[in-house]
Structure 1
Amino acid sequence: MKKINKILVCFFTGSLLFATSSCVKDLLDQQATTELDNKAYWQTEADAVGGAMAMYNNIKNVFHKDYFFDGQGDYVRVRQMSSISSLGTLSNGGAYWTGSTNGHYYPEGYGSSFDNMFRFLFGGVNRANYVIDNVTNMLPRLPAATENLEGIIGEARLMRALVYFRLITMWGDVPYIDKVVVSNNDVTTIARTPIEEIKNHILADLDYAFEKLPASRPPSQKERVTKAAALALRGKVNLYWGSWNKNGWPELVTFVPDAGKAQQAFEDAAADFRKVINDYGLVLYMNGAPGEIDDLGKAAKLPHYYHLFLPTSNANNETIIGFTHGGPGSGVSDKLMRDIGNRETESSEVNVSPNYWLADRYQSTTTGDFLPPMEQLSDRTQDAKYAADAATRPNSALNPQTYLGRDYRMKATILWNGEVVQRLEGLTATALVPYHHGKQGVNNGVRFIDYNGGTNSGYLFRKFVRNYPGQGREEGNMTWPVIRLADVYLMFAEASNEAFGPTSEAVLLVDKVRARGNLPGLKPEKYADRSSFFDAIEQERIVELVLEGHRAFDIRRWRKIEEIWGPPEGLGRFTTNTWGNNVTAYFQNKSERIYEQCYIFKIPQSEIDRNNQIRQNEPYL
Structure 2
Amino acid sequence: MKKSIAKIYLIGMLAGWGVFSSGCVKNLLDQDPTVDPQLVNLWKTESDATLAMMGCYADVRSVFDRDYLMEGHGEYTRVRGSAVSSTDLRLGDAYNGAGGIYDPTGYADKWDEMYRYLYGGVNRCNYVIDNVNKLMEKEGISRTNMERLLGEAHLLRAMCYFKLISMWGDVPYFSRTVTSNDQVATLARLPIGQVKDSIISDLNYAFEKLPQKSPELGRASKPAALAVRGKLQLYWACWNEFGWPELAGFQPSAAAATTAYNAAAADFRSVINDYGLTLFRNGDPGAIDGPGQADTLPNYYYLFQPVANNSPEMVMSFPHGGTNTGQGEELMRDVAGRSHEGSQLWVMPRYEIADRYQSTVTGDFATKLIPLNPADVPDARTRANSALNPQSYQNRDYRMKASIMWDYEMSIGLNSLKSTGWCPFIYKNWGGSVTIDGIRYITYNTDGNNSGYVFRKFLRNYPGQGRSDGDYAWPVIRLADVFLMYAEATNAVNGPQADAIELVNKVRRRGNLPPLAAAKTASKATFFSAIEQERIIELLGEGHRGFDLRRWRALERVWGVPGSAGIWRIDTHGANQTRYYQNVPERTYQQNYIFRIPPSERDRNPNLTQNTPWL
Same fold by TM-score greater than 0.5: yes
**Residue 343 to residue 460, structure 1, CA distance change in 2 (3 Å):** same
After superposition, give the CA deviation of every residue in 1:202-223 in whole Å (9 maximum; x if it has no partner). Answer: 00000000011000022xx121
Q: Does 1:430 align with 2:420?
A: yes
Task: Specify which of 315, 318, 342 is matched with residue 313 of structure 2.
Answer: 318
How far 1:437 sits from its partner (Å)? Answer: 0.3
- In 1, Cα distance between the equivalents of 2:76 and 2:26? 35
Counterpart of 1:79? 80
SS at match of 1:124: helix
How far 1:12 sits from its partner (Å)? Answer: 2.4
Counterpart of 1:391? 381
Task: Specify which of 182, 196, 200 is matched with residue 199 of structure 1.
Answer: 196
TM-score normalized by the length of structure 1: 0.94
Please give the residue correspondences for 1:55-74 in structure 2 after superposition, counting only pairs within 5 Å: 55-74=56-75
After superposition, give the CA deviation of every residue in 1:519-538 in whole Å (9 maximum; x if it has no partner). Answer: 00001110111100000000
Please give the residue correspondences for 1:43-58 in structure 2 after superposition, counting only pairs within 5 Å: 43-58=44-59
Counterpart of 1:564? 558
TM-score normalized by the length of structure 2: 0.95
Counterpart of 1:458? 452
After superposition, give the CA deviation of every residue in 1:405-452 in whole Å (9 maximum; x if it has no partner). Answer: 000000000000110000112111121111110225223563343556
Q: Is the 1:16–1:53 contact (alpha carbons within 8 Å) kept by the matching residues of 2?
A: no
**Residue 392 to residue 31, structure 1, CA distance change in 2 (3 Å):** farther
Task: Specify which of 106, 110, 120 is matched with residue 109 of structure 1.
Answer: 106
- In 1, Cα distance between the equivalents of 2:515 and 2:434? 45
**Residue 58 to residue 347, structure 1, CA distance change in 2 (3 Å):** same
Q: Is the 1:87–1:96 contact (alpha carbons within 8 Å) kept by the matching residues of 2?
A: no
Equivalent position amino acid for 1:491 in 2? M
How far 1:97 sits from its partner (Å)? Answer: 3.5
Q: Does 1:402 align with 2:392?
A: yes
Task: Specify which of 103, 119, 124 is matched with residue 122 of structure 1.
Answer: 119
Q: Does 1:156 align with 2:157?
A: no
Q: Is the 1:413–1:461 contact (alpha carbons within 8 Å) kept by the matching residues of 2?
A: yes
- In 2, Cα distance between the equivalents of 1:544 and 1:14? 30
SS at match of 2:84: helix
Q: Does 1:354 align with 2:349?
A: yes
After superposition, give the CA deviation of every residue in 1:39-70 in whole Å (9 maximum; x if it has no partner). Answer: 51111111111111000000111111100100
Equivalent position amino acid for 1:335 in 2? E
Between stretches 202-211 and 443-452, larger displacement belongs to 443-452
- In 2, Cα distance between the equivalents of 1:63 and 1:434? 32
After superposition, give the CA deviation of every residue in 1:354-398 in whole Å (9 maximum; x if it has no partner). Answer: 0111010000001100012111123xxxxx644111100000100
- In 2, Cα distance between the equivalents of 1:230 and 1:286? 24
Unaligned runs of 5+ in 2: none
Q: Does 1:327 align with 2:322?
A: yes
Q: Does 1:98 align with 2:98?
A: yes
**Residue 78 to residue 84, structure 1, CA distance change in 2 (3 Å):** farther
Unaligned runs of 5+ in 1: 379-383
Task: Specify which of 407, 432, 448 is matched with residue 442 of structure 1.
Answer: 432
Counterpart of 1:574? 568
Aligned sequence identity (%): 49
Q: Is the 2:18–2:320 contact (alpha carbons within 8 Å) kept by the matching residues of 1?
A: no
Equivalent position amino acid for 1:183 in 2? S
**Residue 37 to residue 566, structure 1, CA distance change in 2 (3 Å):** same
**Residue 516 to residue 14, structure 1, CA distance change in 2 (3 Å):** closer
Q: Give the aligned CA root-mean-square deviation in angstroms.
A: 2.1
- In 1, Cα distance between the equivalents of 2:156 and 2:8? 22
Between stretches 471-480 and 34-43, larger displacement belongs to 34-43
**Residue 531 to residue 3, structure 1, CA distance change in 2 (3 Å):** closer
Equivalent position amino acid for 1:421 in 2? S
Task: Specify which of 11, 14, 19 is matched with residue 16 of structure 1.
Answer: 19
Q: Is the 2:167–2:594 contact (alpha carbons within 8 Å) kept by the matching residues of 1?
A: yes
After superposition, give the CA deviation of every residue in 1:549-592 in whole Å (9 maximum; x if it has no partner). Answer: 00000000000111111111221111001111111111112121
After superposition, give the CA deviation of every residue in 1:312-337 in whole Å (9 maximum; x if it has no partner). Answer: 22133521111110010000100111
How far 1:189 sits from its partner (Å)? Answer: 1.3
- In 2, Cα distance between the equivalents of 1:30 and 1:600? 32
Equivalent position amino acid for 2:15 in 1? F
**Residue 2 to residue 13, structure 1, CA distance change in 2 (3 Å):** closer
Q: Is the 1:572–1:589 contact (alpha carbons within 8 Å) kept by the matching residues of 2?
A: yes
Q: Is the 1:64–1:88 contact (alpha carbons within 8 Å) kept by the matching residues of 2?
A: no
Please give the residue correspondences for 1:167-316 in structure 2 after superposition, counting only pairs within 5 Å: 167-218=164-215, 221-316=216-311
SS at match of 2:569: strand
Q: Does 1:468 align with 2:462?
A: yes
**Residue 318 to residue 31, structure 1, CA distance change in 2 (3 Å):** farther
After superposition, give the CA deviation of every residue in 1:136-182 in whole Å (9 maximum; x if it has no partner). Answer: 11112146501110111010000000000000000000000101111
SS at match of 2:211: coil
**Residue 473 to residue 444, structure 1, CA distance change in 2 (3 Å):** closer
- In 2, Cα distance between the equivalents of 1:68 and 1:180? 30
- In 1, Cα distance between the equivalents of 2:568 and 2:75? 11
**Residue 2 to residue 353, structure 1, CA distance change in 2 (3 Å):** closer
SS at match of 1:40: helix
SS at match of 1:434: strand
Q: Is the 1:497–1:503 contact (alpha carbons within 8 Å) kept by the matching residues of 2?
A: yes
- In 1, Cα distance between the equivalents of 2:30 and 2:501? 48
Please give the residue correspondences for 1:580-595 in structure 2 after superposition, counting only pairs within 5 Å: 580-595=574-589
- In 2, Cα distance between the equivalents of 1:333 and 1:36? 31
SS at match of 2:419: strand
After superposition, give the CA deviation of every residue in 1:266-290 in whole Å (9 maximum; x if it has no partner). Answer: 0000000000000000000000000
Q: Is the 2:14–2:54 contact (alpha carbons within 8 Å) kept by the matching residues of 1?
A: no
- In 2, Cα distance between the equivalents of 1:88 and 1:312? 28
- In 1, Cα distance between the equivalents of 2:59 and 2:134? 22
Q: Does 1:370 align with 2:369?
A: no
Counterpart of 1:381? none
Equivalent position amino acid for 1:323 in 2? F
Q: Is the 1:437–1:451 contact (alpha carbons within 8 Å) kept by the matching residues of 2?
A: no
- In 1, Cα distance between the equivalents of 2:351 and 2:193? 39
Task: Specify which of 496, 499, 505 is matched with residue 505 of structure 1.
Answer: 499
Q: Is the 2:14–2:55 contact (alpha carbons within 8 Å) kept by the matching residues of 1?
A: no
SS at match of 1:237: helix
Q: Is the 2:71–2:544 contact (alpha carbons within 8 Å) kept by the matching residues of 1?
A: yes
SS at match of 2:578: strand
Q: Is the 2:170–2:191 contact (alpha carbons within 8 Å) kept by the matching residues of 1?
A: yes
Equivalent position amino acid for 1:424 in 2? L
Q: Is the 2:434–2:443 contact (alpha carbons within 8 Å) kept by the matching residues of 1?
A: no
After superposition, give the CA deviation of every residue in 1:17-41 in whole Å (9 maximum; x if it has no partner). Answer: 755443439xx55997834555511
Q: Is the 1:310–1:464 contact (alpha carbons within 8 Å) kept by the matching residues of 2?
A: yes
Q: Is the 2:83–2:346 contact (alpha carbons within 8 Å) kept by the matching residues of 1?
A: no
After superposition, give the CA deviation of every residue in 1:232-288 in whole Å (9 maximum; x if it has no partner). Answer: 000000000000000000110121100000000000000000000000000000000
Aligned residues: 608
Counterpart of 1:521? 515
